[in-house]
Copies of this chain bind each other. A is one copy, B any other.
Amino acid sequence: MQDRIRIRSLSEHVGAEVVLCGWVRQRRSSGAKLHFLQVSDGTAGVQVVVKKGNVPDEQLEAARYVPFESTVVVRGTVKEDARQVGGVEVSATEFEVMSAAAEDFPIGRKEHGVGFLMDNRHLWLRSSRPRAAMRIRAEVIRACRDYLDEGGFTCVDAPIFNSSAAEGTATLFPVGYFDQTIYLSQTGQLHMEAAAQALGDVYCFGPTFRAEKSKTRRHLTEFWMLEPEMAFADLDEDMDVMEGMIGRVVERVLERCGPELDVLERDRAILERCLPPYPRISYTEALERLEGTDASIPWGEDFGAPQEDAVSAMFEKPVLVHRFPTAIKAFYMKPDPEQPEVVLGCDMIAPEGYGEIIGGGERSADLAYLERKIEEEGLPKEPYEWYLDLRRYGANPTAGFGMGLERVVAWMGDLGHVREAAPFARTMARTSP
C-alpha cells in the first residue's frame, strides 16, 4: 500500500491523518466503547485507540473482538503521548481487519518449551525477544562490514563447494554434486590467503558448515563466519584488528540497539566495560593463572570450555590468549621463531561464558615447513597443491582470523544459547522450518 506510513516514522507525522498497516499484538478494552490495540508493522509498534463515535459501530465491534496477530489497516490521527513507546498514539477514524487470524495463534504469553518454540520459529520470530535478537544480529553484521570496508578491506566471498576433503571428512557435510561427491566448506581461510595476495586486505563473510555432533549452547551445524586476511600482517596487527572490530561492534550495539537491549534486559554496564583495550596474555601465562584452580591443565593441552570460562572470569572484558602449543593447532600456523613450541596464533574469549568468539594468527610462509607438516599429520597432499602454490610464487607473511557471528550476537544480547542468535538455527536434530 503506497500511502501507508511505517510505524517507525509516525512521530514525524504528529497532528496528521495517516494510514498504517500491521498486526494486532495486544488488545485491551475499557468497556464496549473504547479499545486499545497494540499494532506492529515490524518496523515498530504503536497504540491505536478505537473509540465509539470516531469510527462506525461495526468497526468498533471489529476492534473489540479482533484475534491476536490479525492484520489491520488503520486510518487515524497521530497524537503525541509521552507515556507511549515512540511518544505517539493513533486515534482511529477507520479500522479495517484485512485478514483475521485463526484464534489458536500458537505463541502465547505462557511459557513454552524450546522445542515447541523452535518448531514454530516462523511465528515465534514475531515475539519481542527474537525480534530484538535479530536487530542486534543485523547491527553486528553491519558494524563488522563497516569497520573492514572503511579500513580498506575488500569483501571476497569464499566458495562453499569444495571438491577436496582437505582436513578429513569427519566433520564435513558431503554433497551429491551431479555424479560426484563434494563437500561444504568449513572455512574460507585458504581462499582468503590467495585473495590477499591479489588485493592486500580481504575478508569473506558467509555461512559455514560443521558436521560436529556437539549439542552445546555454543554450537550450530550452520553458522556465519567472518574471516579477514591481511597480506604482510603479523600477530600484533592481527590482534589490533580483532580488538578494533569487536570494539566497534560493542560501541555500535550500545549506540544503536538501545531498545533491543532493553527488551532483552541486557545490563549495559557490562557491555560498556567491554570497550577496548583488551588484555593480551599468552597461553603459558594463562595456564600459570589457572594453577591451583579446578580448570588447571598441564602445559600442552588445549583449552576446553572450563579453561575459557575460568580465564574470561578473571577479566570483565574480552581476552586475547596468544601463543598456543604448536602441536594442538592447525598445520598452517606459524611457529614463533623465538619459541617454536608455540604458534603465533590467538583466540579471543568473550566474557560471561560465551567462549571463543575469534581464532586466528599468522600463517607459515615456509613451503618446506608446510610440506613437512602436511606429511607428518597424514593429510593428503593433492588438495593442498594450489595452497602451496601461494608459497611457491611470492610467499608473504600473512595473518587473519575467523569470527563466529552467532557467538558474538549471543554474547551481545546475553541470549544464553547460539540458537537464539540465528534467524532459523540448524542443529543436529533441526533443519526446519
Contact = CB atoms under 8 A, between A and B. Distances in A.
A365 B99 contact: yes
A381 interface: no
Interface string A111-137: 000000000111101100011001101
Interface stretch (A57-65, A369-377, A392-400): A392-400
A392 B101 contact: yes
Contacts of A432: 162-164, 383, 386
A201 interface: yes
Copies in the complex: 2
Given A42-B198, A42-B231, 7 more contacts: A23-B396, A123-B389, A134-B198, A138-B155, A173-B177, A175-B176, A191-B424
A207 B392 contact: no
Contact of A177 (B101, B231, B431): B431
Contacts of A160: 160, 207, 209, 222
B393 A123 contact: yes
Interface of A: 1-2, 4, 6, 8, 21, 23-24, 41-43, 69-71, 98-99, 101-102, 105, 120-123, 125-126, 130-131, 134-135, 137-138, 141-142, 145, 149, 152, 154-164, 173-178, 180, 182, 184, 191, 194-202, 206-207, 209, 211, 213, 221-222, 224, 231-234, 236-237, 365, 383, 386-387, 389-397, 422-424, 426, 428, 431-433
Given A155-B141, A423-B156, A71 B390 contact: no
A401 B197 CA distance: 36
A190 B419 CA distance: 20
B2 A236 contact: yes
Contacts of A200: 6, 8, 41-43
9 contacts: A42-B199, A98-B395, A125-B194, A157-B224, A159-B422, A159-B424, A173-B175, A178-B428, A207-B207
A211 B233 CA distance: 39
A60 B233 CA distance: 26
Nearest to A432: B163
- Find the residue from A24, A98, A152, A161 having the highest chain B CB count within 10 A: A161
A195 B134 contact: yes
A69 B1 contact: no
Contacts of A426: 159, 161
- Find the residue from A138, A149, A176, A198 having the highest chain B CB count within 10 A: A198
Contacts of A131: 198-199
A355 B379 CA distance: 44
A98 B200 CA distance: 16
B99 A159 contact: no
